[in-house]
Amino acid sequence: MNSLREIKATCCYCGVGCGVIVQTDGQRVTNVRGDPDHPANHGRLCTKGSTLHLSADPVIRQQARALHPELRLQRGLPREQASWDVTMDFLARRCADVLRRHGPDSIGFYISGQLLTEDYYVFNKLAKGLLGTNNIDTNSRLCMSSAVAGYKQTLGADAPPACYEDVDHADLIFIAGSNTAYAHPVLYRRIEEARRRHPQLRVIVADPRRTDTAREADLFLPILPGTDVALFNGMLHICLWEDLLDTRFIAEHTEGFDALRQTLREYTPQHVARVCGIREEDLLQAARWFGGSKAALSLYCQGLNQSASGTAKNAALINLHLATGQIGKPGAGPFSLTGQPNAMGGREVGGMANLLSGHRDLANPAHREEVARLWGVDSVPATPGKTAVEMFEAVRAGEIKVLWIACTNPAQSMPDQNLVREALQKAELVIVQEAYRGTATVPYADVLLPATTWSEKEGTVTNSERRITRFRPVLEKPGQARHDWEIVVDFARRMEGLLGRARSLFPYENVEQIWNEHRETTRGRDLDITGLSYAVLERDGPQQWPYPEGAAGGRKRLYEDGVFPTPGGRARFVDTVYRPVAEPADARYPFRLTTGRLRDQWHGMSRTGTVAQLFAHTPEPAVLLAPADMERRFLADGDLVHVTTRRGSQILPARASEDIRAGQAFIAMHWGEEYLSGRSNSGEPSYGVNALTTSAYCPDSRQPELKHAAARILRAELP
Ligand code: SF4
């Protein structure tokens, strides 16, 4: 038996970004435990994190993983194994041909918040620097693009101002649109411990469902789906009326309050209570607690972001913080939680259709010039890239011919699966770069590129509080799998050869060289990490940005000096107006369908679905309905129902839940067709919950409204 070693690494699931100590005998991961020295978790792990070693079991690595490159030379034929050289040569020649015939915007990249920062960096440089297209977007578009837009509109930069330690200093925690107990469990445990230590700490939760997070709150606001802007405006109206504003902070550090003040007149407590479907006294209580607290911290996630009003929801909540001076001090601030482990890192390298490296904006000509100079290319194209939904629309329309998908599963996770699957069939060439061969997207691949994953990869990730941690390899690569950055660099060099480029833009021999180039692109920017070398991360452990050259450490909290990264140095109020959901319930589709996470599953279950223990909490998919709705339809627990929206239908067991209001329904996001097809013997499409969701999106952030669709629910008549 080989001797055991322990290596510090990072959990690959949610944006809390917990440190793990991985034990290995060199062949397999024998155990994991929380890293007591990691500031994000201080040794704690949740059920998902503490079973990471089971998902890296040798049998699973052998059976569930993509281990060889595969090629399909003609549609209709099966893919066949091929060498890396043959595969990459084929790929480069096909892409060069498409580029010549149709131009750079005929190629699109759809990547992932689960890639490491270094992977993200080279993908972005490949698309925008070498190929000359901004058609590169990510599944982070489905996760946090509304938070990005909300921060930029109000505070001037995409930078969460608070940190986890603020949980220990707050006297009010306002959780909006987040089931933190399930989606960010270790952070939630920190809240529970803070409440035990400080009984005066109050927690308010606003959510359409009485989640486990809501159940423990001092005040629960069971708002109707999509009414968050009305709630936040209503709370601000009350703070204004009851003299709870920080007028000095407004005068010295902000602009635009007078316009918002006019808008707020309409948001009377009576009106807001009616719109949100909550009691007026609860609304008043929430506003008084918020406005009267010494330090109020807001935690928010997909309930705000995954909405056709996502940016307005984020901005309205930040308005509330600015107007009450609840920002830039211990225990206070708006704090968006990222769903994925490295959605933040992707934002930092500009790995989205509208961003550029170092938190620069594609729409800004000076930013494009700076990035072109840093990369050593003539220019970065000005044409806006396609965002997630737009990209699949462009593929379906035949505008994008080649679609390269990396580390994500759009045939399950994107809204409106009719659109996605039509697009995947229509594309001339679908490339899937993936660690797992069983995802719903893999069957569409003409080229399958096997990639490494957790316990095999090296690089960095950034968690929700701007903290950068090393992601360290523990095991050898399985089969012929390659690191994501290696695949991109191999392709890029072949393309450079075909395009006749003399000097390579991709001279990297290791991942640290990519990191160092990325650091340089942040020099002088709000997220400056020029001082954060791998050596510093090795010596001092995980660090928060900014961390400029010469700094003694990272910055815990932003805007403590009251200066914001806007042209005038002032934060900006946004005149936010409540708008109803994109698809309101009506007589044909009378239910408000919402989606969300379970405690023990992660995204489309590629990894958690391999761990039997993680099914103990919730073993199968179901639609949750209010007991009154079950009774009215003569449904018993477990009866099968059709859940139908304007886009598709699913057959699921119905379950009564006291946590759901009458007229609402809830389906967890995790299960896809492989789990549901056994039930769908009516021949109806069976793509998981996203057969039902809408691709309507926020006009500012382009983030789809995954959280709400109008639905019809009828008993299923089985043959
Ligand atoms: Fe992993 Fe998130 Fe759980 Fe931490 S809270 S162990 S990062 S899933």
Asked if residue 162 lies in contact with residue 329, where contact means CB atoms within 8 angstroms, the answer is: no
- Can you tell me which atom of ligand 1 is nearest the CA of 602? 8
Q: What are phi and psi of 219, to 5 degrees?
A: -145, 125
- Can you tell me which atom of ligand 1 is nearest the CA of 49? 6
**pLDDT greater than 70 at residue 302:** yes
**CA–centroid distance, residue 564 to ligand 1 (Å):** 31
- Can you tell me which atom of ligand 1 is nearest the CA of 47? 3
What mean pLDDT value characterizes the chain?
95
As a 3-state breakdown, the chain gives helix, strand, coil percent values, each rounded to 5, of 35, 20, 45
**CA–centroid distance, residue 49 to ligand 1 (Å):** 5
**CA–centroid distance, residue 341 to ligand 1 (Å):** 9
Residue of 11, 53, 598 with the most ligand 1 atoms within 8 Å of its CB, for mutation: 11
**CA–centroid distance, residue 471 to ligand 1 (Å):** 14
**pLDDT tens digit sequence for 115-149:** 999 999 999 999 999 999 999 999 999 999 999 99
Q: What are phi and psi of 204, to 5 degrees?
A: -110, 135
Which tokens sit at 425?
A: 């069939």
**CA–centroid distance, residue 206 to ligand 1 (Å):** 23
**CA–centroid distance, residue 711 to ligand 1 (Å):** 33
- Can you tell me which atom of ligand 1 is nearest the CA of 11? 1
Least confident of 245-259, 308-322, 584-598, 680-694: 680-694
Residue of 41, 340, 611 with the most ligand 1 atoms within 8 Å of its CB, for mutation: 41
Sorted by sequence, the CB contacts under 8 Å of residue 307 that are 6+ apart come out as: 146, 226, 228, 313, 581, 698, 703, 705, 707, 708
**pLDDT tens digit sequence for 654-707:** 999 999 999 999 999 998 876 554 344 445 556 889 999 999 999 999 999 999
Q: What is the percentage of the chain residues whose pLDDT exceeds 90?
A: 91
Which tokens sit at 166?
A: 């603020």
User: Average pLDDT for residues 386-408, to the nearest whole number?
Assistant: 98
- Can you tell me which atom of ligand 1 is nearest the CA of 41? 4
**pLDDT greater than 90 at residue 2:** no
Q: What is the CATH number of domain 70-142+342-516?
A: 3.40.50.740
Q: What is the CATH number of domain 5-63?
A: 3.30.200.210
Residue of 10, 13, 598, 607 with the most ligand 1 atoms within 8 Å of its CB, for mutation: 13
**CA–centroid distance, residue 15 to ligand 1 (Å):** 7
- The pLDDT value given to residue 672: 85
CATH class for the region spanning 145-336: alpha beta
CB neighbours of residue 683 within 10 Å: 6
Which protein residue has the closest C-alpha to ligand 1 atom 3?
46
**CA–centroid distance, residue 47 to ligand 1 (Å):** 8
Sorted by sequence, the CB contacts under 8 Å of residue 651 that are 6+ apart come out as: 640, 641, 642, 643, 676, 679, 680, 682, 684, 686, 716
What residues flank ligand 1, with Cβ below 6 Å? Answer: 11, 13-14, 16-18, 41, 45-46, 48-49, 184-186
Residue of 10, 12, 14 with the most ligand 1 atoms within 8 Å of its CB, for mutation: 14
- Please name the residue that has the structure tokens 């934002």: 347
- The pLDDT value given to residue 60: 82
- The pLDDT value given to residue 676: 52
* CA–CA separation, 168 and 491 (whole Å): 48
**CA–centroid distance, residue 189 to ligand 1 (Å):** 11
- The pLDDT value given to residue 675: 57
**pLDDT greater than 70 at residue 714:** yes
User: Average pLDDT for residues 634-647, to the nearest whole number?
Assistant: 95
Which protein residue has the closest C-alpha to ligand 1 atom 4?
18
* CA–CA separation, 596 and 221 (whole Å): 18
* CA–CA separation, 396 and 393 (whole Å): 5
**CA–centroid distance, residue 57 to ligand 1 (Å):** 19
**CA–centroid distance, residue 17 to ligand 1 (Å):** 6
**pLDDT greater than 70 at residue 375:** yes
- The pLDDT value given to residue 687: 80
pLDDT tier at 339, thresholds 50, 70, 90: confident
Determine the topology of domain 591-715 in CATH.
Barwin-like endoglucanases (2.40.40)
- The pLDDT value given to residue 143: 92
Asked if residue 582 lies in contact with residue 565, where contact means CB atoms within 8 angstroms, the answer is: no
Domain ranges for the chain, please list them.
Answer: 5-63, 70-142+342-516, 145-336, 591-715
User: Average pLDDT for residues 184-208, to the nearest whole number?
Assistant: 97
Q: What one-character-per-residue DSSP string does 473-535 give?
A: --SPPPTT-B-HHHHHHHHHHHHHHHHT-SS-S---SSHHHHHHHHHHHTTTSTT--TT--HH
**pLDDT tens digit sequence for 457-471:** 999 999 999 999 999
Which protein residue has the closest C-alpha to ligand 1 atom 6?
49
User: Average pLDDT for residues 299-325, to the nearest whole number?
Assistant: 97
**CA–centroid distance, residue 182 to ligand 1 (Å):** 10
**CA–centroid distance, residue 48 to ligand 1 (Å):** 7
* CA–CA separation, 345 and 18 (whole Å): 15
R_g of the chain computed on alpha carbons: 25
Residue of 35, 45, 598, 600 with the most ligand 1 atoms within 8 Å of its CB, for mutation: 45
- Can you tell me which atom of ligand 1 is nearest the CA of 185? 5
**CA–centroid distance, residue 14 to ligand 1 (Å):** 5
pLDDT tier at 240, thresholds 50, 70, 90: very high
pLDDT tier at 719, thresholds 50, 70, 90: low
User: Average pLDDT for residues 55-66, to the nearest whole number?
Assistant: 87
- Can you tell me which atom of ligand 1 is nearest the CA of 13? 8
